[in-house]
């Protein structure tokens, strides 16, 4: 299936002849035929269509839905588009792709080297599709068309530019090659090769496609390379990763990986790299690509950038955490990864020295973390954490808020982990004066905790007294404030005392089970922080206790 919005193509079970002139020739198929179709794509929800043969070339039979074609007013335009598409395929697409990747299955089930294309009206989102059942005989599958049949949106063929049509056909023909050369290939691998085809062919549409796929990936702070959900993000990841592989290692790595007998793309690429004595594994390349999507600067390293000008300004938008500049500010997050998953994460804020600590599960043999520091001029420096001997690592960053403005980190799991298992890990970020002052900071925090516990006990005692005297303390405190509350316009955090905190406490008091104390004091203390964490957890937001942009936006929707 090919979707205009997603520009998706699925595997076509088709085949082709040797390269010859695209002139019209006599047809072996009949002048009329009835084709089984898929109602989910068909404009009229049909399961069968009657079609007429409108054009035959050395590599194609072009049929058209009889009803649609009889009512067509610009048949000459359609004929010209078909001829141009066939010419471009036979003189460029076919010889280039088969020389680099190998041939398709030829002839097909119908013992004919030509591909059958059926033009018919489809629903607006779809450019085309195929039925994998058509590769089987009707003895095995009664609803088979018994041939290499592609269904294309006839209106698209009349109205779309030829460079887009060249890409669509190349995309699907690459599926044919992969299906023949590596029948058990993973879906992500099939789509990676298909999305690579306009790069290999140097099609003019490739720049537009790269821009679209980059946009599809831009707001995706987490990707799994080997999973496939047929989403925009999936097509974005394989297109950009394939482009990166091609720029770094050329077309040969794709040729040899496709010839490898394993259906596992990771295994095939690793064998190709080993044969070329590249001195790098596929997992290393995957991590380099993840880093590239943050840095994308050839002046840092050739392996951390895209070479094409189309992607020269591309940089992924990571999931961002804000660390307040106060000395006691900290963040603590528990997260998870599965095999071949990478995440782009970023910390902004902080002041002075920043400590970042990672704790990994013991059963994670191939867990890697790259981290980057960004200075005030936007320059990023790369480093790595080594978990070979310990599952806990700490790293310190100096001059946060003055010379440095952000820290990026990219946790990634490679091939040594089980694909269907989630591995949990945690990280903590905290402002500190210096590594040497950590003991002093811990002691002061413990003292503060004890002070807060005493304050909580005092407030709980006061609240119990008021309740015993049949006095509604929460109502009195809420009504005692003259503060007029509206939308939350700024972040609120632990230690802050302000009218906005009163408004936050009033908001939380009105939610069942979120803020049972219902104290409207204007002070963002441990009770308010705990209530914010409960609210965040109830909304699927990471429970940090910091009332930041995501939490503010959710709360403002409920006001």
The reply to whether 314 falls in a domain is no
Residues 281 and 339 in one domain: no
Distance CA 30, CA 146 (A): 14
Residues 6+ apart with CB under 8 A from 29: 53, 56, 61, 112, 116
Is residue 235 pLDDT above 50, yes or no? Answer: yes
Query: Which candidate, 381, 361, 362, places its Cα nearest to that of 370?
Result: 381
Q: Write down which residue in 373, 403, 432 finishes a domain.
A: 432
Looking up tokens 């000008």 gives: 309
Virtual torsion, Cα 120, 125, 130, 133, nearest 10 deg: -110
- Do 160 and 188 lie in one domain? The reply is no
**At 24, is the pLDDT very low, low, confident or very high (cuts 50, 70, 90)?**
very low
Which DSSP symbol is given to 311? G
Angle 34-52-14 from CA coordinates, rounded to 5°: 65
Residue 457 lies in a domain: no
- Shared domain check, 189 and 166: no
Give the chain's domain count.
4
Alpha-helix residue ranges (DSSP H) falling in 469-544: 473-480, 499-509, 526-538
Average pLDDT over residues 399-418: 84
Asked if residue 289 and residue 361 are part of one domain, the reply reads no
The neighbouring-strand residues paired with 93 are none
**Short-list 173, 56, 158, CA closest to 116:** 56
Choosing from 407, 432, 457, the residue where a domain stops is 432
Residues 16 and 134 in one domain: yes
Q: Is 177 left (phi over 0), alpha (psi -120 to 50) or beta?
A: alpha
Asked if 32 and 154 sit in the same domain, the reply is yes
CATH code (residue 526) = 1.10.101.10
Secondary structure letter of residue 91 according to DSSP: I
Query: Burial level of 290, CB count in 10 A (0-12/13-18/19+)?
Result: buried
- Comparing C-alpha atoms, which of 113, 191, 179 is closest to residue 148? 113
Domain finish residue from 380, 415, 432:
432
Q: Say if residue 272 is in the same domain as residue 326.
A: no
Q: Rounded to whole angstroms, what are the CA distances from 186 to 268, 372, 373?
A: 11, 32, 36
Check whether residue 141 and residue 76 sit in a common domain: yes
The verdict on residue 310 lying in a domain is no
Whether the predicted pLDDT of 236 surpasses 90: yes
Q: Identify the helix (H) or strand (E) that includes residue 231.
A: none
| pLDDT at 112 > cutoff 90 | no
Over range 129-146, report the average pLDDT: 86
Confidence category of residue 467, pLDDT binned at 50, 70, 90: low
**Do 335 and 363 reside in the same domain of the chain?**
yes
Lowest-confidence segment of 3-17, 90-104, 180-194, 351-365 by average pLDDT: 3-17
Task: Report yes or no on 98 lying in a domain.
Answer: yes
Domain identity same for 256 and 328:
no
Say if 445 falls within a structural domain: no
Within a domain: residue 257?
Answer: yes
Question: What CATH code is carried by the domain that includes residue 392?
Answer: 2.60.120.380
- Please indicate, yes or no, if residue 461 is contained in any of the structural domains: no
504-512 average pLDDT score: 92
CA distance 192 to 208: 17
| Residue 442 within any structural domain of the chain | no
DSSP, residue by residue, 234-300? HHHHHHHHHHHHHHHH-SHHHHHHHHSS-S-HHHHHHHHHHHTT-S--HHHHHHHHHHHHHH--TTT
**What 8-state DSSP symbol labels residue 483?**
P
pLDDT category, 506, cuts 50, 70, 90? Answer: very high
Residue 433: which pLDDT band, with cuts at 50, 70 and 90?
low
Closest CA to 349 of 251, 268, 252, 429: 429
Pair 339, 368: CB distance under 8 Å: no
- The answer to whether residues 379 and 428 belong to one domain is yes
Query: Which domain covers residue 86, as residue numbers?
Result: 1-181
Residues 349 and 288 in one domain: no
Percent of the chain with pLDDT over 70: 86
**8 A C-beta contact, residue 19 and residue 95:** yes
């Amino acid at each position: 299936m090919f979707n205009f919005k997603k520009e998706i193509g699925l595997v076509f079970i088709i085949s082709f002849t040797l390269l010859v002139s695209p002139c019209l020739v006599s047809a072996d198929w009949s002048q009329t035929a009835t084709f089984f179709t898929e109602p989910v794509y068909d404009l009229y929800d049909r399961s069968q269509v009657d079609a007429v043969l409108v054009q035959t070339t050395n590599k194609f039979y072009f049929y058209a839905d009889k009803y649609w074609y009889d009512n067509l007013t610009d048949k000459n335009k359609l004929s010209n588009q078909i001829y141009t598409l066939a010419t471009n395929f036979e003189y460029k697409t076919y010889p280039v792709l088969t020389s680099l990747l190998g041939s398709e299955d030829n002839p097909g089930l119908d013992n004919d080297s030509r591909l059958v294309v059926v033009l018919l009206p489809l629903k607006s989102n779809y450019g085309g599709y195929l039925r994998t059942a058509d590769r089987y005989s009707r003895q095995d599958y009664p609803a088979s068309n018994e041939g290499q049949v592609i269904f294309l949106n006839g209106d698209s063929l009349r109205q779309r530019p030829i460079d887009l049509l060249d890409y669509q056909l190349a995309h699907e023909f690459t599926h044919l090659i992969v299906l023949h050369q590596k029948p058990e290939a993973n879906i992500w691998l099939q789509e990676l090769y298909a999305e690579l085809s306009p790069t290999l062919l140097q099609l003019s549409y490739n720049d537009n496609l790269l821009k679209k796929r980059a946009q599809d990936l831009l707001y995706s702070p987490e990707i799994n390379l080997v999973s496939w959900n047929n989403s925009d993000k999936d097509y974005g990841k394989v297109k950009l990763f394939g482009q990166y592989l091609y720029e770094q290692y050329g077309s040969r790595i794709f040729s040899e990986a496709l010839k490898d007998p394993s259906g596992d793309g990771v295994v095939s690429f690793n064998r190709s790299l080993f044969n070329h004595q590249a001195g790098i594994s596929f997992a290393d390349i995957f991590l380099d690509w993840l880093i590239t999507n943050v840095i994308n600067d050839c002046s840092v390293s050739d392996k951390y950038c895209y070479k094409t000008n189309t992607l020269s300004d591309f940089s992924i938008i990571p999931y961002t955490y804000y660390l307040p500049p106060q000395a006691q500010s900290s963040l603590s997050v528990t997260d998870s990864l599965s095999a071949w998953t990478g995440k782009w994460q970023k910390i902004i804020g902080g002041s002075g020295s920043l400590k970042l600590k990672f704790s990994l599960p013991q059963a994670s043999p191939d867990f890697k973390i790259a981290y980057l520091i960004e200075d005030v001029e936007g320059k990023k420096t790369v480093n790595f954490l080594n978990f070979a001997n310990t599952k806990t690592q700490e790293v310190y960053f100096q001059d946060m808020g003055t010379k440095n403005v952000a820290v990026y980190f990219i946790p990634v799991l490679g091939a040594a982990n089980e694909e269907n298992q989630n591995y949990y890990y945690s990280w903590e970020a905290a402002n500190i004066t210096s590594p040497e002052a950590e003991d002093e900071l811990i002691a002061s925090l413990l003292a503060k905790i004890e002070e807060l516990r005493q304050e909580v006990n005092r407030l709980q005692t006061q609240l119990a007294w008021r309740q015993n005297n049949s006095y509604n303390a929460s109502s009195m405190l809420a009504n005692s404030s003259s503060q007029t509350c509206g939308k939350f316009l700024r972040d609120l955090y632990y230690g802050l005392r302000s009218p906005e905190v009163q408004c936050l406490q009033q908001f939380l008091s009105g939610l069942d089970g979120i803020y049972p104390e219902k104290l409207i004091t204007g002070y963002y203390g441990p009770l308010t922080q705990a209530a914010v964490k409960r609210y965040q957890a109830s909304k699927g937001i990471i429970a940090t206790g910091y009332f930041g942009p995501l939490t503010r936006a959710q709360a403002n929707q409920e006001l």
